[in-house]
């Protein structure tokens, strides 16, 4: 993830399901994910959305779309 001029590593993960407006990813406290963290969703090598974490469990986290990056 590129934040300003700093390159920050974040745990790679996957969207495992969608519950209405919430996106569930397979990363949580065990991966050092915190409320407020942001992840970029990639599809076919392109950034499509930025997620903001709202709730963190041991192995899964709930996020919402903070920004749509591409319509693909």
Three-state secondary structure readout of 40-69: EEEECCEEEEEEEEEEECCCCEEEEEEEEC
Q: How far apart are CA 24 and CA 6, in angstroms?
A: 26
Report in angstroms the alpha-carbon separations of 70 from 21, 42, 44, 60. Answer: 18, 10, 12, 25
pLDDT score of 69:
86
Q: How far apart are CA 51 and CA 41, in angstroms?
A: 7
What is the tens place of the pLDDT at every residue in 6-34?
444 555 789 999 999 999 999 999 999 99
pLDDT score of 9:
52
**pTM for the complete prediction?**
0.79
Share of the chain above pLDDT 70, in %: 82
């Amino acid at each position: 993830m590129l934040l300003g001029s700093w390159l920050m590593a974040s745990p790679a993960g996957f969207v495992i399901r969608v519950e209405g407006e919430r996106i569930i990813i397979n990363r949580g406290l065990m991966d050092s994910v915190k409320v407020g963290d942001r992840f970029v969703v990639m599809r076919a090598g392109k950034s499509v959305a930025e997620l903001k974490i709202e709730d963190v469990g041991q192995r899964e986290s709930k996020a919402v779309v903070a920004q749509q990056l591409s319509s693909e």
